[in-house]
Amino acid sequence: MNDPFTPPTATTPQNSNSTSAGDEALRHRLHASVAASTDLLTYLDSLTSTAVDVLSSHEKEVFCGVTLIQANKATTVASSSDRARRMDEVQYAFGDGPCLTAAHEEREIYVSDIEDLPDTSKYRAAMEDHGVHSVLATPILLPETSYSALNLYSTKPQAFSDAARGLARTFATHASTPLKLALTVADLAETGTDLQAAMESRRTIDTAVGVLMAQNTCSRDQAITILRQTAITRGLKLRDLAHSIVTNTTNVPD
C-alpha cells in the first residue's frame, strides 16, 4: 500500500459480563438469519445488514460489504446497500485500498479519518466525494488462494471504537463459514461456475428487491420480507421468484 493506513491497535478491555451478554444476543441474531436465509450468499447479505444495524447510530451512518478475491479478481459477494457496493468498487478500480490489503495480508486495516491520508491520494479524494470519512476492513480467513474481507464505511471520522472493531471481527468470523462452504461447493464441481452462479443469483435477487421497493414504496428490508414470504407461499426458491419478477418487469411492453 502506498497510503499509510493505520495498523490495528490493542482493544480496550471491557466488562466481561456485558460483553458476554452482547455476544450471546448477537449470536442468536445471526443464527436467526441463518434460519431465515434460503442460501449462503443471502445469509451474507443478511449479515452485512445486521452489522450496519448494530454499528450505526443517530450520529453516524455505517454501510458494509464483503469482498471475495479469487484469481486476483475482487468481487463484492454481499452488501448492505448499493452504496456499500459502490465503495468496494472504488477500491477495485484503483486496485488498491483497505479491503484489498486486509484480505491479501489477513490483517485489520483501519483508516480512522480519510483526511489523514496524503492530499495526493486518489483513494482519499474518491472516498471524500462519496461522503465517506472512515473505513474499517477486517479479514475473513479462507483456505489456500482465496481471500476475503468485511468492509465497513462510515460518514463520520473515528467511527469505529475498539468495541466496534471487536464486533467487526465477530461478523468476519461468522462470514467465514458460509464463504468456505460456497468455495467448497465450487471446488467439488472442479470449476468456479457454481459460485459464479450463486453470485449471479444474488444479483438477480438484488434487482428483484429494487423492483419491489419501487412497486410498494417500501424499504429494502420490507422488500426482502415480501420476497421471502411470497416465495414460501408459492413454494418457490427465492432465486426463481426473483428471476420471474425481473423478467416480467423488463418484458413489460411499451
* Residue 2's pLDDT band (cuts 50, 70, 90): very low
| Contact by Cβ (8 Å): 213, 220 | yes
pLDDT score recorded for residue 106: 94
The single residue listed with the C-alpha cell 476492513 is: 137
Considering only the C-alpha atoms of the chain, give the largest distance between any 2 of them, rounded to a whole number of Å. Answer: 62
Question: Rounded mean pLDDT of 68-76?
Answer: 88
* Residue 151's pLDDT band (cuts 50, 70, 90): very high
Question: Rounded mean pLDDT of 155-183?
Answer: 88
Beta bridge pairs of residue 73 = 70
| Identity of residue 204 | T
- Report which of 158, 148, 159, 155 is spatially closest to residue 181, judged by C-alpha positions: 148
* Runs of H (alpha helix) within the chain: 16-36, 40-55, 82-94, 98-105, 122-129, 162-188, 193-216, 220-234, 238-250
Query: For residues 219 and 19, which has the higher predicted lDDT (pLDDT)?
Result: 219
pLDDT score recorded for residue 33: 54
- Does the structure show a pLDDT above 60 at 107? yes
pLDDT score recorded for residue 98: 93
Describe the crossing of helices 122-129 and 82-94 by its angle, rounded to 10 degrees: 160
* 235-248 core/surface letters (b: 16 or more CB in 10 A; e: else): eeebbebbbebbee
- Does the structure show a pLDDT above 50 at 50? yes
The Cα 39–Cα 203 span in angstroms is 13
* Residue 147's pLDDT band (cuts 50, 70, 90): very high
Burial class (CB in 10 A: 0-12, 13-18, 19+), 231: middle
The single residue listed with the C-alpha cell 479479514 is: 139
Query: For residues 34 and 227, which has the higher predicted lDDT (pLDDT)?
Result: 227
Query: For residues 152 and 120, which has the higher predicted lDDT (pLDDT)?
Result: 152
Instruction: Give me the chain's average pLDDT, please.
Output: 79
Query: For residues 165 and 77, which has the higher predicted lDDT (pLDDT)?
Result: 165
**CA 47, chain centre distance (Å):** 7
- Does the structure show a pLDDT above 70 at 35? no
The model's pLDDT over 79-99, given as tens digits with 9 standing for 90+, comes to 998 899 999 999 999 888 899
Q: Is 190 left (phi over 0), alpha (psi -120 to 50) or beta?
A: left
Query: The C-alpha cell of 156 is what?
Result: 463520520
